[in-house]
Copies of this chain bind each other. A is one copy, B any other.
Amino acid sequence: MSRSNPRVLSTLERAGGFASAQEVYKLMQREGEKIGLTTVYRSLQSLVDDKIVDLLRREDGEAIYRLCGEKHHHHLVCKSCGDTVEIEGGAIEKWAKSMADEHGFRDVGHTAEIFGICSKC
């Protein structure tokens, strides 16, 4: 049982509260932090165990970690240039909740992404 390295959590916060293990690792390297990839993985895993961060999945299956306290939001992503806009999802929250209730699901979370071509492309 390992405890989380505090610098990992702090980096995840600085990353906007939303990143993969590889991204956290690269970010720490770029900032001159001395840390091993193994420790980044272990720390993130233990943060998930402690319910301090959520574990989600990118479309390609890569694990992404999100601070639980972060305000929940969604993304509007350009398929061409990758530009991303954070958007509100009030309608989604209500939809997810009502669907879950209707089918007797509990402890529900959700993912929702919109992708298209932005005005610049």
Residue numbers of A with Cβ under 8 A of B are: 57, 59, 61-63, 76, 78-79, 85, 87, 89, 91-92, 94-96, 99-100, 103-119
A100 CB, nearest partner CB in chain B, Å: 6
Pick the contact of A76: B62, B100, B115 (CB < 8 A): B100
Note all chain B residues with C-beta closer than 8 A to A95: 89, 91-92, 95
Closest to A91 in B: B95
A80 CB, nearest partner CB in chain B, Å: 9
Given that A63-B61, A92-B95, A105-B78 are known contacts, is A100 also in contact with B112, CB under 8 Å in the complex?
Answer: no
CA distance A105 to B81 in the complex (A): 12
A92 and B112 within 8 A (CB): yes
B100 and A114 within 8 A (CB): yes
CA distance A119 to B117 in the complex (A): 40
